A and B are shown apart, each in its own frame.
Chain A
Amino acid sequence: MLQTDLHSYVQLFAFGLVAGLTGLCAIATVVTQNIVRSATWLLFTLAGTSGIFFLLGADFVGAIQLLIYVGGTMVLVVFGVMLTAQGPFIHMKTNGAEWAISIAAGILLFSVLSVGLGSEYLARATGARGVSKDEDTKDSHHAATIGQALSGAPYGPERKNDNNAGTHYLLPFEIVSVHLLVVLIGAAYLARAKRRKEEIT
């Protein structure tokens, strides 16, 4: 009992640390006026998000987040910043009134979301606590389960015996693959150097 208490406290502390850092980095991303700094804060926010995924036990998703987001998307964004960062575009200011309206709208949106979540939390914490969990969720967070679900094989503890297990994600997986191919071709087409046009005109 003491051990589980200690474990949950450590987990709570780790969550508080990572979540606080992630939230602060996200706010800094918005607040800073320099686009290069904004991209750097976004990098830390994405890394913090992958830390949250690791805390949640989703190791595979956290690793993919580090690989694709922090490794791939951030390189793209930084390249975009470097290729377009010239003098006035690095510090592009928004005027004060727009800032005031946006921050007011943001605070309103966040308070609506968190008040909704908080009321739901209070209802759960005080009221019906009889949500029984008869299956162990700890062991199913492996890459193998995700791979089985993606390839259409039966997965999960309760669906293993089921022969015609309904949901699988083979079709979305294929669609995403084709989508990536289309994106590759489209991005190469859009970003190509245009020499033809000058010859024609």
Chain B
Amino acid sequence: MSDEVHLYPYLVLGALLFTCGVVCMATKRNAIGILIGVELVLNGANINFVAFSKYNAVFQVEGMIFALFVIVLAAGEAAVALAIVLNFYNNHATVDVDGADELKG
């Protein structure tokens, strides 16, 4: 059996994390809960990247480099998102995303 077959359990795990992240983003009303959902989605993508870097010779280095980029960019995204959430909390005294409706037409 080809070695590449072992790739698929990892992809299923990545899909599970992705789905959990999407559901988390859809159901949580707390802004930080939505941020947690985004982290889950990015982790699912990262598992796919690293699994491909192991089982596909073309992406040997590329998969890991893109995983590293995703990790670093997720850290930056978390910092900015939390700054926005704190600012929102200071102005509105709530972290409920349903309260952020000033841009509504």
Which A residues have a C-beta under 8 Å from some C-beta of B? 15, 19, 22-23, 26-27, 29-30, 35, 38-39, 42, 45-46, 49, 52-53, 56-58, 60-61, 64-65, 68-69, 72-73, 76-77, 79-81, 83-84, 89, 92, 94, 98-99, 102-103, 105-106, 109-110, 113-114, 117-118, 120-121, 124-125, 129-131, 133, 135, 137, 140-141, 145-146, 149-150, 155-156, 167, 169, 172, 176, 179-180, 183-184, 186-191, 194
Contact = CB atoms under 8 A, between A and B. Distances in A.
Contacts of A80: 32, 35, 82, 85-86
Contact of B19 (A79, A89, A110): A110
Interface string B36-62: 110110010011001101100100111
A139 B77 CA distance: 33
Contacts of B3: 131, 133
A129 to B, nearest CB: 5
23 contacts: A23-B17, A26-B20, A38-B36, A52-B13, A56-B50, A58-B50, A73-B78, A89-B30, A89-B95, A92-B29, A92-B96, A98-B26, A105-B26, A114-B15, A124-B8, A125-B1, A129-B1, A146-B64, A146-B65, A176-B69, A179-B73, A180-B76, A187-B82
B47 A49 contact: yes
Given A53-B46, A146-B61, 19 more contacts: A15-B10, A30-B23, A30-B24, A53-B47, A58-B53, A77-B35, A84-B85, A84-B89, A92-B29, A92-B96, A99-B27, A110-B19, A129-B2, A133-B3, A149-B61, A155-B61, A176-B72, A186-B83, A187-B83
B100 interface: no
Contact of A58 (B39, B67, B96): B67
Nearest to B26: A102
Interface centre among A29, A129, A141 (most CB of B within 10 A): A29
Contacts of A57: 54
- A contact patch SS: helix
Contacts of A145: 61
B2 A124 contact: yes
A56 B64 CA distance: 11
Contacts of B50: 52-53, 56, 58, 61
B43 A73 contact: no
Contacts of B29: 92, 94
